[in-house]
């Protein structure tokens, strides 16, 4: 499935946000962590850089984590709630190095509204396309990271947070070697 470029970027941002708390880690422990995350994800616009902003992003992360494994009806309820709360009004915009793409908030809107709206708009595309099965959890033992499978053959099984795929492949190789030797 090919989504619009801004949708794919937003979906990867959702995965990265969800995975900032995967496997018992806390990737947003301090304001500096949020600053780094937003810089890596290319978020622009106004910021308060206070504890409330960090806490609101962590609340959004919990909502998106629950949505990741939700059924379609629950996902729709969450997406609609996120869009309502942010007073989303989709518009085409062009800025920085981006060609025309959708924004549904102003650059001055609170960070959590901009983040939740980007996520909700991308997830709405996934839901409308009946592609929620591309939203998975890593198949590696003891890993609960989110996986977004955008492969043509729907074959992605492991997350990008560590070496889950490599460890699984090495373990399978060793098991095959033990079985033949």
Residue 21 · residue 85 · CB < 8 Å? no
58-99 tens-digit pLDDT: 999 999 999 999 999 999 999 999 999 999 988 888 888 888
Q: What is the dihedral of CA 35, 7, 21, 55, to 10 degrees?
A: 50
Measure the CA–CA gap between 151 and 166, rounded to whole angstroms: 18
Its sign, for the CA torsion 150, 63, 168, 25, is positive
The least confident of 72-76, 100-104, 111-115 is 100-104
């Amino acid at each position: 499935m090919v989504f619009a470029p801004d949708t794919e970027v937003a979906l990867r941002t959702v995965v990265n946000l969800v995975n900032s708390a995967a496997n018992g880690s806390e990737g947003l422990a301090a304001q500096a962590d949020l600053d780094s995350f937003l810089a890596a994800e290319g978020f622009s616009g106004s910021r308060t850089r206070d504890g409330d902003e960090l806490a609101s992003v962590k609340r959004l992360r919990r909502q998106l984590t629950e949505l990741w494994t939700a059924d379609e009806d629950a996902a729709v309820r969450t997406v609609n709630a996120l869009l309502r709360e942010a007073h989303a009004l989709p518009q085409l915009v062009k800025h920085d190095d981006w060609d025309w793409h959708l924004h549904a908030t102003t650059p001055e809107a609170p960070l959590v509204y901009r983040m939740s709206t980007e996520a909700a708009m991308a997830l709405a595309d996934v839901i409308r396309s009946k592609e929620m099965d591309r939203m998975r959890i890593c198949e590696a033992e003891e890993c609960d990271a989110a996986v977004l499978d955008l492969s043509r053959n729907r074959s992605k099984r492991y997350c990008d947070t560590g070496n889950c795929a490599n460890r699984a492949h090495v373990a399978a190789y060793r098991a095959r070697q033990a079985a033949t030797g």
